[in-house]
Amino acid sequence: MHHKILSAGLLALALAAPGAPAQTAAPATPAVDPATVQALKDMGAHLQSLQRFHVTNELTGERVLADGQKLQHMASATMDVQRPNRLRVKMSSARSQRELFYDGKQVTLFTPAQQYYTSVPFAGSVGDLAGALQDKYNVELPLADLFVLGTPAAPLDKLDSAMNAGQDFVGPDLCDHYALRQGNFDWQIWITVGSKPLPRKLVITNRNDEARPQSVSLIEWDMKAILASSAYTFKPPKGAKAIDLVARKAQ
């Protein structure tokens, strides 16, 4: 809108002064701002440098009904990470609760309400685990991108657009706000200002659906809450029953 007003003003000025030289158009702003891409790289590098952390995610998602009406749903997750290969996650909503334990040798999914658990052997980093759970068992780890950003598995050379959208406060933290587009998804990310950039808010919009459903994640960080190594190993409570984890069918 401001660009149109400015253009109209320049045109009026030229008509009022016929002898004035023609205005030279400013160069177009690149669709992918290099500084924005660098900010994402810096954040990714910092994320990969974190050895231990506790993170909380408050998620609001949207479900679109057949008539186009949107319904919001909410969920939360807490995650404790000790690199390279320890992870504990608690996922909670009004519909279900699940817990995940990974101690570098075995990964276990536990549903407290039903007292069911399933364990499979696994050896690899927490990043490897996030990918394996999705690919093999169709289990999506909350905030899985935290383990991918800053690695070759998250290339930034396929963005359709990327721009700096200014600054906002997320809670008490001043953040740089970036907006990006890739394929059928728009995403916005708020990253803390300073030498230790962390993502504090993430909004993803699905443009493949004309209703444009969104998911919003509010992310809190705690670098001081450190679990003992034994907390990452699952200990079945009395009465819990072991079940098999079924691998997804090959496509």
User: 71 in a domain, yes or no?
Assistant: yes
Provide the CATH number for the domain around residue 235: 2.50.20.10
Domain residues for the domain of 168 are: 34-242
What end-to-end distance do the CA atoms of the chain give, in Å? 47
User: 230 in a domain, yes or no?
Assistant: yes
The encoded tokens of residue 144 equal 């899985």
User: 11 in a domain, yes or no?
Assistant: no
**Which pLDDT score is estimated for 30?**
67
User: 75 in a domain, yes or no?
Assistant: yes
CA-to-CA distance for 56 and 220, rounded, in angstroms?
5
User: 3 in a domain, yes or no?
Assistant: no
**Which pLDDT score is estimated for 203?**
97
Give the count of domains, the chain: 1
CA-to-CA distance for 220 and 76, rounded, in angstroms?
11
Q: Are strands 214-222 and 199-206 parallel, antiparallel or unpaired?
A: antiparallel
Give, for all 251 residues of the chain, the pLDDT tens digit: 433 333 333 223 223 333 444 444 544 566 999 999 999 999 999 999 999 999 999 999 999 999 999 999 999 999 999 999 999 999 999 999 999 999 999 999 999 999 999 999 999 999 999 889 988 888 889 899 899 899 888 889 899 999 999 999 999 999 999 999 999 999 999 999 999 999 999 999 999 999 999 999 999 999 998 899 999 999 999 999 999 988 776 55
Specify the residue for token string 């980093």: 125
Residue type, 65: L
The encoded tokens of residue 170 equal 């997320």
**Which pLDDT score is estimated for 20?**
40
Query: Per DSSP, what are the bridge partners of residue 64?
Result: 70
User: 196 in a domain, yes or no?
Assistant: yes
Query: Per DSSP, what are the bridge partners of residue 180?
Result: 162, 187
User: 111 in a domain, yes or no?
Assistant: yes
User: 6 in a domain, yes or no?
Assistant: no
Contact present, 159 and 34 (Cβ < 8 Å): no
Which DSSP string do the residues of 128-156 spell out, in sequence order? Answer: HHHHHHHHHH--PPTTGGGGTTTSTTS-S
Taking only the tens place, the pLDDT of each residue in 164-221 is 999 999 999 999 999 999 999 999 999 999 999 999 999 999 999 999 999 999 999 9
Q: Are strands 185-192 and 199-206 parallel, antiparallel or unpaired?
A: antiparallel
Residues 6+ apart with CB under 8 A from 141: 89, 100, 129, 130, 133, 134
**Which pLDDT score is estimated for 6?**
30
